[in-house]
């Protein structure tokens, strides 16, 4: 299946609309997880404490709609196009989070989110993704990337489960979530192609069953990430940056998709990746600053607010606080 103008007309709006739903879902779920007792990392009982909370159920509904739209986008467009577009969920999540908290979005946080989106947009323009295969390579060709993704996920989970540092715990959970989300997206594209052949076709292949394991595991990790972290946006930045990067890797390695590989294009793609890293670093640094301010005694907070011209109660809550997070 090749990429046509008509397929892009369907894929691009569906991907952006799916990103908006995912952004709303992340903001709603992050707020809901803060309303229940905090458990240990990889807490399997978290769902039991969340079920029945209206805000979390709204997040679930938005997640389901977002996944449906993502599946439509993947059915019509290549992974190299659809997955990077999903990073716009970072902006939608920031806006939704600010709305739920009844406050104005932090300008520095917004700038970091825009840098992440701009970097991925630049990557799309420069890379010019092509190809739209709906089948995976076979045999040993799956192993190199598969082993790398499995190792990265395992190491991240070990770090999250064993560290006493709140910042490293949240980072480990966010990395594992991003990898599993990207893997799920790649497999969902294969499943979507199988559905084209017949409604019973996906049940004859292992990809559907792996999606049923990896997808829920990634969702569980995301809920733990939101609860363990102090802020939302930086954790979500890690997830939404890794998700499309893993999707791009799967498209190139497992599905025969291609991107512009000329030296100048590769330099531009690397530069776009650097912009994404800067955006994430900006989000993380700002979150650390906000976290430190939130831990000051009331007298210090009032003095700092007077010096900066801000009200004491106007401190934004938009990331996860990479430094000194106590969980």
**Would you list the DSSP string of 198-253?**
-TTGGGGSHHHHHHHHHHHHHHHHHHHHHHH-S-SHHHHHHHHHHHHHHHHHHHHH
Q: How far is CA 75 from CA 87, 89, 95, 153, 186, in A?
A: 18, 20, 29, 27, 11
Q: How far is CA 227 from CA 16, 103, 154, 168, 252, in A?
A: 26, 20, 20, 14, 34
> Which tokens is 180 given?
């599993």
Question: Does the pLDDT at position 322 exceed 80?
Answer: no
Question: Does the pLDDT at position 7 exceed 50?
Answer: yes
**Which of 20-34, 261-275, 292-306 has the weakest average pLDDT?**
292-306
For the ranges 44-53, 212-221, 236-245, 251-260, the maximum mean pLDDT occurs at 212-221
- Is 186 within 8 Å of 246 (Cβ atoms)? yes
Question: Does the pLDDT at position 229 exceed 70?
Answer: no
Residues of the chain with pLDDT > 90, as a percent, come to 17
- Is 201 within 8 Å of 194 (Cβ atoms)? yes
Mean pLDDT estimate for the chain: 78
Q: What per-residue confidence (pLDDT) applies to 131?
A: 66
Give the whole-angstrom CA distance, residue 87 versus residue 60: 19
| pTM, 2 dp | 0.72
Mean pLDDT confidence for 138-162: 90
Residues of the chain with pLDDT > 70, as a percent, come to 78
93/287: higher pLDDT:
93
On the CB side of 155, CA atoms within 13 Å amount to 8
Mean pLDDT confidence for 76-85: 80
Mean pLDDT confidence for 84-113: 76
Residues in contact with 37: Cβ distance below 8 Å, sequence separation at least 6, in sequence order: 49
What is the number of residues in the chain? 327
Question: Does the pLDDT at position 176 exceed 90?
Answer: yes
For the ranges 26-35, 124-133, 202-211, 268-277, the maximum mean pLDDT occurs at 202-211
Q: What per-residue confidence (pLDDT) applies to 175?
A: 92
Give the whole-angstrom CA distance, residue 187 versus residue 194: 11
Mean pLDDT confidence for 60-83: 87
At 283, is the pLDDT very low, low, confident or very high (cuts 50, 70, 90)? low
């Amino acid at each position: 299946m090749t990429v046509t103008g008509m397929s892009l007309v369907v894929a691009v709006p569906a991907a952006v609309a799916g990103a908006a739903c995912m952004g709303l879902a992340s903001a709603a779920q992050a707020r809901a997880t803060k309303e229940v007792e905090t458990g240990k990392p990889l807490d399997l009982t978290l769902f039991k404490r969340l079920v029945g909370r209206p805000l979390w159920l709204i997040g679930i509904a938005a997640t389901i709609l977002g996944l449906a739209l993502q599946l439509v986008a993947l059915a019509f467009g290549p992974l190299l196009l659809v997955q990077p577009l999903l990073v716009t969920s970072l902006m939608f999540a920031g806006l939704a989070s600010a709305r739920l908290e009844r406050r104005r979005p932090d300008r520095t946080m917004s700038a970091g989110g825009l840098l992440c989106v701009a970097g991925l947009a630049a990557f799309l323009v420069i890379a010019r993704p092509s190809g739209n295969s709906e089948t995976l390579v076979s045999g040993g060709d799956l192993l190199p990337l598969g082993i790398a993704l499995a190792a990265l996920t395992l190491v991240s989970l070990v770090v999250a489960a064993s560290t006493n540092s709140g910042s490293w715990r949240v980072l480990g959970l966010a990395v594992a979530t991003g990898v599993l989300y990207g893997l799920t997206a790649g497999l969902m594209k294969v499943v979507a192609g199988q559905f084209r052949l017949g409604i019973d076709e996906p049940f004859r292949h292992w990809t559907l069953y792996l999606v049923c394991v990896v997808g829920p595991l990634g969702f569980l990790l995301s809920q733990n990430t939101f609860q363990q972290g102090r802020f939302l946006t930086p954790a979500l930045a890690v997830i939404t940056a890794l998700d499309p990067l893993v999707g791009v890797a799967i498209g190139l390695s497992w599905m025969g998709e291609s991107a512009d590989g000329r030296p100048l294009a590769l330099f531009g793609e690397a530069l776009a990746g650097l912009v994404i890293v800067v955006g994430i670093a900006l989000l993380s640094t700002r979150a650390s600053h906000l976290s430190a301010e939130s831990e000051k005694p009331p007298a210090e907070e009032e003095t700092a607010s007077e010096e900066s011209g801000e009200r004491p109660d106007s401190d934004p809550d938009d990331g996860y606080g990479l430094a000194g997070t106590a969980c």
